[in-house]
Structure 1
Amino acid sequence: MSLNTQSLQPIINFIWSVADDVLINKYLENQYQDVILPMTVLRRLDLALEPSKEKVFKTYEDFKGKIDNLSGLLTSEQHGTGLAFYNTSQYTMKKLLADPKNINTNFLDYLNGFSENVQDIISKFKFRNQLETFENTGITFSLLEKFCNPKLELSPDKISPMAMGYMFEDLIRRFNEKTNAAAGRHFTPREIIELMTHLVYLPVKDKIQQGTYLVYDPCVGSGAMLTQSKLFATNPEGEIKSKATFHLYGQENTGEMYATCKSDMLLKGEDPDKIKYGSTLSEYGFDPDLKFNFMLTNPPYGTTWKQDQENLNVGTEKKISIVDKRFNLPIKNFKGELETTCLTSRSNDGQLMFMLHMLSKMKDPKDGGSRIASIHNGSALFTGDAGSGESGIRQYIIENDLLECIVQLPNDIFYNTGIATYVWFVTNVKEKKRKGKVQLINASSDAFYRKMRKPLGSKRNELVAEHIETIQDLYFDFEENEYSKIFDNEDFGFYQITVQQPEKDDKGNIIKDSKGKPKADSSLKDIENVPMKEPIDNYFKREVLPFAPDAWYDKTKMKVGYEIAFNKYFYQYEGLRTLKDIAADILILEQETDGLLKEIIA
Structure 2
Amino acid sequence: MSDLNISNFIWNIADDVLRDIYVRGKYRDVILPMTVIRRLDAVLEPTKASVLKMKTQLDSAGVANQHAALCQASGEAFYNTSSFRLRDLTTKSRRQQLKADFEAYLDGFSPNVQEVLDKFKFRNQIPTLVEADALGFLIEKFLDPSVNLSPKPVLHQDESVRLPGLDNHTMGTIFEELIRRFNEENNEEAGEHFTPRDVVELMAHLIFMPIADQIQSGTYLVYDGACGTGGMLTVAEDALVNLASEHGKDVSVHLYGQEVNPETYAISKADLILKGEGVEAENMKFGSTLSGDAFPSREFDFMLSNPPYGKSWKTDLERMGGKKDLRDARFVIEHADDPEFNLTTRSSDGQMMFLASMLSKMKTGSPLGTRIAEVHNGSSLFTGDAGSGESNVRRWIIENDWLETIIALPLNIFYNTGIATYIWVLSNRKAPERQGKVQLIDATTWFKPLRRNLGKKNCELAQDDRRRTVDACLAMQPDEHSKIFPNAAFAYWKVTVERPLRLSVDLSEDALRRFDSAAAEAGETQLSAVVEDLAEKLGTGPHLDFGAVLDEVEGIARQRGVRMTAKRQKLLKTGLGRKDPAAEPVVKKVSKPKAGADADHDALYGRRHIRQSDKPAVVEYEPDTELRDTEQVPFLEDGGIEAFFRREVLPHASDAWIDAAKTVIGYEISFTRHFYKPQPLRELREIEADIRALEDETEGLLEDVLGGGD
- Tell me if TM exceeds 0.5: yes
Match of 1:567 among 659, 672, 677: 672
Measured in 2, the distance between the counterparts of 1:507 and 1:281 equals 52
1:215 aligns with 2:215: no
Q: In structure 2, give the amino acid aligned to 1:370.
A: T
1:140 aligns with 2:138: no
Counterpart in 2 of 1:599? none
1:299 aligns with 2:295: no
- Contact map agreement 1:252 1:276 (CA 8 A) in 2: yes
1:329 aligns with 2:333: yes
Residue deviations 1:164-213, cap 9 Å, x none? 44333332333333344434422111111111111111122222240111
Counterpart in 2 of 1:399? 399
Measured in 1, the distance between the counterparts of 2:167 and 2:698 equals 53
- Contact map agreement 2:215 2:244 (CA 8 A) in 1: no
- Contact map agreement 2:172 2:271 (CA 8 A) in 1: no
Q: Deviation at 1:339?
A: 3.9
1:522 aligns with 2:625: yes
Counterpart in 1 of 2:23? 28
Measured in 2, the distance between the counterparts of 1:239 and 1:376 equals 31
Measured in 2, the distance between the counterparts of 1:570 and 1:381 equals 14
Deviates more, 1:547-556 or 1:116-125: 547-556
Q: Deviation at 1:365?
A: 4.2
1:508 aligns with 2:582: yes
Counterpart in 1 of 2:572? none
Counterpart in 1 of 2:290? 281
Measured in 1, the distance between the counterparts of 2:285 and 2:689 equals 65
Measured in 2, the distance between the counterparts of 1:428 and 1:111 equals 47
Q: Deviation at 1:585?
A: 5.1
1:414-429 → structure 2 map (5 Å cutoff): 414-429=414-429
SS of residue matched to 1:155: coil
Match of 2:91 among 69, 73, 98: 98
Counterpart in 2 of 1:341? 341
Residue deviations 1:543-587, cap 9 Å, x none? 111222221110111111011112111112222223432454577
Greater gyration radius? 2
Q: Deviation at 1:354?
A: 0.8
> How many pairs were matched up?
576
- Contact map agreement 2:52 2:83 (CA 8 A) in 1: yes
Q: Deviation at 1:590?
A: 9.6
- Contact map agreement 1:44 1:154 (CA 8 A) in 2: yes
Residue deviations 1:132-179, cap 9 Å, x none? 112222111011111111344322454344434433333233333334
Q: In structure 2, give the amino acid aligned to 1:72.
A: A
- Contact map agreement 1:15 1:152 (CA 8 A) in 2: no
SS of residue matched to 2:207: helix
- Contact map agreement 2:343 2:390 (CA 8 A) in 1: yes
Counterpart in 2 of 1:449? 447
Q: Deviation at 1:238?
A: 7.1
Measured in 2, the distance between the counterparts of 1:591 and 1:412 equals 42
SS of residue matched to 1:545: coil
- Contact map agreement 1:252 1:278 (CA 8 A) in 2: yes
1:194–1:178 CA distance, 2 compared to 1 (3 A): closer
Counterpart in 2 of 1:380? 380
1:226–1:343 CA distance, 2 compared to 1 (3 A): same
Q: Deviation at 1:123?
A: 0.3
Q: In structure 2, give the amino acid aligned to 1:529.
A: Q
Q: In structure 1, give the amino acid aligned to 2:298.
A: L
Deviates more, 1:368-377 or 1:162-171: 162-171
Measured in 1, the distance between the counterparts of 2:365 and 2:435 equals 14
Residue deviations 1:225-251, cap 9 Å, x none? 111111112128975564111111111
Residue deviations 1:321-374, cap 9 Å, x none? x22211122232xxxx44432311110111111111111111114453111110
Deviates more, 1:388-397 or 1:24-33: 24-33
Counterpart in 1 of 2:659? 554
SS of residue matched to 2:303: strand
Counterpart in 1 of 2:648? 543
Measured in 2, the distance between the counterparts of 1:507 and 1:350 equals 46
1:367–1:291 CA distance, 2 compared to 1 (3 A): farther
Match of 1:474 among 472, 475, 480: 472
1:506–1:352 CA distance, 2 compared to 1 (3 A): closer
SS of residue matched to 1:216: strand
1:107 aligns with 2:102: yes
- Contact map agreement 1:402 1:426 (CA 8 A) in 2: yes
SS of residue matched to 2:411: coil
Deviates more, 1:581-590 or 1:94-103: 581-590
Deviates more, 1:168-177 or 1:262-271: 168-177
Deviates more, 1:566-575 or 1:218-227: 566-575
Q: State the Cα RMSD in Å.
A: 2.3
SS of residue matched to 2:681: coil
1:163–1:567 CA distance, 2 compared to 1 (3 A): farther
Counterpart in 1 of 2:320? 312
Deviates more, 1:61-70 or 1:234-243: 234-243
Measured in 1, the distance between the counterparts of 2:266 and 2:402 equals 34
Measured in 1, the distance between the counterparts of 2:115 and 2:461 equals 37
Measured in 2, the distance between the counterparts of 1:120 and 1:479 equals 50
Match of 2:492 among 482, 491, 494: 494
1:289–1:508 CA distance, 2 compared to 1 (3 A): same
1:398–1:181 CA distance, 2 compared to 1 (3 A): closer
- Contact map agreement 1:234 1:241 (CA 8 A) in 2: no
Residue deviations 1:47-93, cap 9 Å, x none? 111111111112212322421122111111xxx11110000011111
Measured in 1, the distance between the counterparts of 2:314 and 2:694 equals 54
SS of residue matched to 1:43: helix
Residue deviations 1:290-338, cap 9 Å, x none? 11101011111111111211121123xxx21x22211122232xxxx44
Question: Normalising by structure 1, what TM-score?
Answer: 0.91
1:30–1:429 CA distance, 2 compared to 1 (3 A): same
Match of 1:69 among 65, 69, 75: 65
Q: In structure 1, give the amino acid aligned to 2:67.
A: S
Q: In structure 1, give the amino acid aligned to 2:70.
A: L
1:371 aligns with 2:380: no
Counterpart in 2 of 1:355? 355
Deviates more, 1:237-246 or 1:52-61: 237-246
Counterpart in 1 of 2:636? 533
> Mind listing any 5+ residue stretches in structure 1 that lack a counterpart?
2-6, 595-602
1:574–1:239 CA distance, 2 compared to 1 (3 A): farther
- Contact map agreement 2:180 2:193 (CA 8 A) in 1: no
Counterpart in 1 of 2:298? 290
- Contact map agreement 2:176 2:229 (CA 8 A) in 1: no
Residue deviations 1:362-405, cap 9 Å, x none? 11144531111101000111100001000001100110011111
Measured in 1, the distance between the counterparts of 2:400 and 2:239 equals 29
- Contact map agreement 2:184 2:416 (CA 8 A) in 1: no
- Contact map agreement 2:342 2:392 (CA 8 A) in 1: no
Q: In structure 2, give the amino acid aligned to 1:212.
A: T
Counterpart in 2 of 1:598? none
1:86 aligns with 2:79: yes
